[in-house]
Amino acid sequence: MRDLTSSLRTMSERGTPVGSARLRERVAVALAGGRLSPGSRRSWDLPGPVLAALVAAVVVIAFGGVLLLSRTAEGPVAPAPTVPPVVSTTTLSTETSAATPTTSTTTSTTTTTVPVPIAESIAFQSNRDGNVEVYVMHADGTTINLTNNPAVDGAPAWSPDGTRIAFTTNRDGNIEVYVMDADGSNPINLTNNLALDRQPAWSPDGTRIAFTTNRDDNSEVYVMDADGSNPINLTNHPGVDGTPAWSPDGTRIAFITSRDENAEVYVMDADGSNPINLTNNPDLIVGIPAWSPDGTQIAFTSGRDGNAEVYVMGADGSNPTNLTKVPNADDVIGAWSPDGTRIVFHSNYRVGENEVFVMNADGSNQINLTNDPAADTLPAWSPTP
């Protein structure tokens, strides 16, 4: 994974297109568990759909930190649940977006009306307008493109008061953590660093943001003040550490690490001390762990049953339970609802393309919220209606 991260950074600096053969080769090597040393070449004869999946993996790895390397089980795909047809309307308006550095860009805001059974709003990333953007779906049925930028924008994270959204973008030429108002206005670069800075997570009091970065030539979990100042390395470990998630009381941070030669969910104190392995399982762990609002449970994604499924366990790692239970599919955790009764996640089962789903906290009543032919992933539930 460190080899892939280095490759992504180098190619970003050189302006290598995402679909280039060289980049596809780098990703293929990383996915196969190999390394591509300078001067060496390995030939990969991969079918078109596999190459497309690898290119998609680049965006997922760099922006969302979710890498699905699950086995494909045999047998029919589970049937899709009955969902209402999508009825949509599109309106266009012209806006000016100011970022750091300040630029003036003419963009179009796409609004789609789709009934959704939620009381709050859910932000997510989608390529439905031709490139990856941050969208938000509201309880009134509107889905709005918030970022409207030709760059790749994704991995949204709500501030605790619901007024701002942190996200990951490459609009300044490399991958950075930005923050914007909840309506998409006033985007600001928080990290301003040549490293790959991604996967932001707000502290419960809104004063700090944890994120993943390779600025020390290794993937680590950092924390910074909410204005981007005072970045501090919390993990300081030669393993690959990333995808931080704060506990509701702000005293601990869950994260995923390879320090035990396997991807595991760990928890540490908010200052980086006392790291503890919660999962202790040889199968792949993917996605960003998500704390329940009361702090007693952590949802995560695991391949221990043969494919990626959403699990929940006690905050001490006890009693891991498969919630999604869908073979031949990849289900990846997103977030809990503010009241803790439901969980939002993305899945490629039933419909073949990733969609945002919601289910009850016990795994029942799984409902497709997005119903769009594009790839909709990495949902984040707003803390307020």
Using one digit for the tens of pLDDT, what is the confidence trace for 257-303? 999 888 999 999 999 999 999 999 888 777 789 999 999 999 999 98
Is pLDDT at 317 greater than 90 in this prediction? yes
If one compares 336 and 105, the residue with the highest pLDDT of the two is 336
- Asked which of 55-59, 184-188, 236-240, 340-344 is least confident by mean pLDDT, the reply is 55-59
Tokens standing for residue 69? 């390397």
Going by C-beta distance under 8 Å and a sequence separation of 6 or more, which residues neighbour residue 286? 66, 67, 68, 69, 256, 263, 301, 302, 303, 308, 332
Q: At what angle do helices 21-31 and 48-59 cross, to 10 degrees?
A: 80
Tokens standing for residue 142? 């509107």
Tokens standing for residue 110? 């796409």
- 200-233 per-position pLDDT tens digit: 999 999 999 999 999 999 999 999 999 999 999 9
Of 177, 210, 64, 213, nearest to 127 by C-alpha is: 64
H-run or E-run covering 144: strand 142-145
Return the CATH number of 94-381, one of 1.10.3720.10, 2.120.10.30, 3.30.70.890, 3.30.70.141: 2.120.10.30
Max intra-chain CA distance, the chain: 55
Taking CA atoms, 180 is separated from 24, 142, 215, 228, in Å, by 32, 19, 23, 13
pLDDT value at residue 261: 84
Is pLDDT at 188 greater than 70 in this prediction? yes
Is pLDDT at 5 greater than 90 in this prediction? no
Calpha distance 341→239 (Å, rounded): 35
Q: How are beta strands 309-314 and 321-322 bridged, if at all?
A: antiparallel
3-class state of residue 107 by DSSP: strand
pLDDT value at residue 242: 96
Per-residue pLDDT, averaged over 47-54, amounts to: 36
Is pLDDT at 91 greater than 60 in this prediction? no
Whether residue 197 contacts residue 175, with contact meaning beta carbons closer than 8 Å, is answered with yes
* Cα-based angle 92, 96, 101 (whole degrees, multiple of 5): 145
Residue range(s) in the chain whose domain bears CATH number 2.120.10.30:
94-381
Across 225-253, b (16+ Cβ under 10 Å) vs e yields: ebebeebebbbebebbbbbbbbbbeeebb
pLDDT value at residue 350: 58
- 95-124 per-position pLDDT tens digit: 222 333 333 333 334 444 455 567 789 999
Is pLDDT at 17 greater than 90 in this prediction? no
